[in-house]
Structure 1
């Protein structure tokens, strides 16, 4: 799901991951499946390592900035790719968190 070439909405994930096109199937899969946190983290780090090894030249300098906080903004313009996310802490839709690599 990390590499999907679409906005990461349940509907779009359903189109690429499952034979069923109903987003409720994806929701049930994501919310009711047993997840092994250690394995999930290992796979996440392996994907990042693979990406960096195959996309970054040895002589180049780069920065990987990871910010997992969501700062609320008084006014936000909608960006083309990221979609708004439901913030469980605020109980409403909030501006997207954008990761740039």
Structure 2
């Protein structure tokens, strides 16, 4: 594989990072909120906000909002699927067109 092709492959692989972050970002935020709540013995669920005092401040409303942010993944995962399909199509087009030039 020549140097130019290696750079293009790295670029295509680098593009997968923001696609994955957009697609799974809300799930990551929801898991982080759940982990923070569990580590501080707080109750966290989708029904309503519960008080969660950490270092003298109530973090319950913030954790509740972050936990509900996970519902956004219903949309972002779909966007990630479409973006990944578009990425794969561009990747395939590049390698089919570059194959004849080598």
Q: TM-score band (shorter)?
A: under 0.3
* TM-score (normalizing by structure 2): 0.26
Give the structure with higher Rg (CA).
2
Q: Which has the higher helix share?
A: 2
With a CA cutoff of 8 Å and minimum separation of 6, indicate the structure with the bigger relative contact order.
Answer: 2
Structure 1 length-normalised TM: 0.26
